[in-house]
Chain A
Amino acid sequence: KQEVTQIPAALSVPEGENLVLNCSFTDSAIYNLQWFRQDPGKGLTSLLLIQSSQREQTSGRLNASLDKSSGRSTLYIAASQPGDSATYLCAVKNQAGTALIFGKGTTLSVSS
């Protein structure tokens, strides 16, 4: 049964720092991995989607990497800003391809 774990659960950094969020999954047979952002009281916004054949994806200050063999993904945020404060979730498709399996998330706080 696929399980997704995110470390750390919470992270506080000063503005301008580069940071890494970690995601691990137990079954390496994934279709793709996706990183989302969740703001308090809001829905989820998709940040990056990495297909199983890809090693990384970049969007602006965000870079996500995928190592299927070791069951790990990282989300790198460069030059963090207070507006980056949110909960970041990673998710993989279930084996049936019908739904997403989420980690519990990392809550990021960037202070100015």
Chain B
Amino acid sequence: NAGVMQNPRHLVRRRGQEARLRCSPMKGHSHVYWYRQLPEEGLKFMVYLQKENIIDESGMPKERFSAEFPKEGPSILRIQQVVRGDSAAYFCASSPRSMGAYQETQYFGPGTRLLVL
């Protein structure tokens, strides 16, 4: 059973370009979470999605960032008009059930390192 897959692993963009980060959850997992790790900072929650629905986006910046998890295909985190401050590692995690479930945990992907020049 393959783990959580993210691609690309490294992404370089110039200021003003768009960045698209993809996440394929573990087989059988329908819950996806995105986190961002800024240099010298801890991981910060961004958004939680279930198939075709955004459940919690309380950690998403209000502008330029969006996420989706379509019925078919990977989850996509999209950053429009990137700025240097967007440079970070973006991690995706998945779980088979809602995190509200008492013993549920998340399984993390290897991350995408975004560098904005």
Contacts and interface: CB of A to CB of B under 8 A. Distances in A.
A binds B: yes
A44 B91 CA distance: 9
A97 B100 contact: yes
A105 B42 contact: yes
At the interface, is chain A mostly helix, strand, loop or mixed? Answer: strand
B69 interface: no
B99 interface: yes
Give the contact-size bracket for chain A.
20 to 34
B25 to A, nearest CB: 13
B4 A99 contact: no
Interface string B18-45: 0000000000000001010000111111
Contacts of A4: 42
Interface residues on B, range: 20 to 34
Contacts of B3: 43
A34 interface: yes
B105 A49 contact: yes
A94 B45 contact: yes
B48 A98 contact: yes
Interface string A76-90: 000000000000010
Nearest to A104: B42
Interface of A: 4, 31-32, 34, 36, 41-46, 49, 51, 89, 91, 93-94, 96-105
